[in-house]
Chain A
Amino acid sequence: EAQVTQNPRYLITVTGKKLTVTCSQNMNHEYMSWYRQDPGLGLRQIYYSMNVEVTDKGDVPEGYKVSRKEKRNFPLILESPSPNQTSLYFCASSSSSGGAAKNIQYFGAGTRLSVL
């Protein structure tokens, strides 16, 4: 089954304690992205990756890091989380090939993060 898997689904942490949210896709997609969802703001892109070792900032990258060492994985790293990073996070993947499917982003189930 084609899917994007995020872990964990829920996470409560304290300010300054480094954390990683994992994301993995099994569709051999080149493109992967991280978004955060906040009330009244919709989803905003944090970082994206065009392929292995190629990443770039999205609209709200401050306080986040990413890496793309393997095509299937795209972890999101918060090295020193702060309360304003409390949010719902989504990983997504897409492809530039594959006919009609190339225009679709596939989303993970989301990670609810609370930073105290």
Chain B
Amino acid sequence: AQTVTQSQPEMSVQEAETVTLSCTYDTSESDYYLFWYKQPPSRQMILVIRQEAYKQQNATENRFSVNFQKAAKSFSLKISDSQLGDAAMYFCAYRRNAGGTSYGKLTFGQGTILTVHP
């Protein structure tokens, strides 16, 4: 079974600084997707960024980028120029790309609470 581990229960960063959230995963599959979701106090789950395993290039979305190390099974999220609105719980998630039922299931990590200090 696939597992996703976020080893940092809490992280903090100063406004305008850069922070990196860690995520590791375990899978025997070669084709899969990885995601970072943000959950602000409103509890809404917001997709931040996604990475396709067969793409070597790291995904970027404005101030958010990932460092995807497939051999090491590592998928970290870097937030540049941190803003107060970035404060939230961040979840790393994995999905197999095997068709059928794999489309409907995400496996999540435990989450990392990010605090942004003004």
Contacts and interface: CB of A to CB of B under 8 A. Distances in A.
Nearest to B106: A105
B44 A49 contact: no
B104 A42 contact: no
Interface residues of A, number: 30
B103 interface: yes
B47 A104 contact: yes
Given A90-B45, A104-B47, A107-B44, A42 B101 contact: no
**Interface majority SS on A: helix, strand, loop or mixed?**
strand
Interface string A93-104: 011100000111
Contacts of B103: 30-31, 50, 94-96, 102
Interface in A1-33: 30-33
B44 A109 contact: yes
A44 interface: yes
How many residues of B sit at the interface, in one of the four size bands? 20 to 34
A73 interface: no
Interface stretch (B64-72, B80-88, B107-115): B107-115
A42 B109 contact: yes
Contact of B104 (A31, A40, A41, A44): A31
B91 A43 contact: yes
A32 B103 CA distance: 10
20 contacts: A31-B103, A33-B104, A33-B106, A35-B108, A41-B110, A42-B91, A43-B108, A44-B108, A45-B106, A48-B104, A50-B101, A92-B45, A102-B103, A103-B50, A103-B95, A104-B47, A105-B47, A105-B106, A110-B43, A110-B44
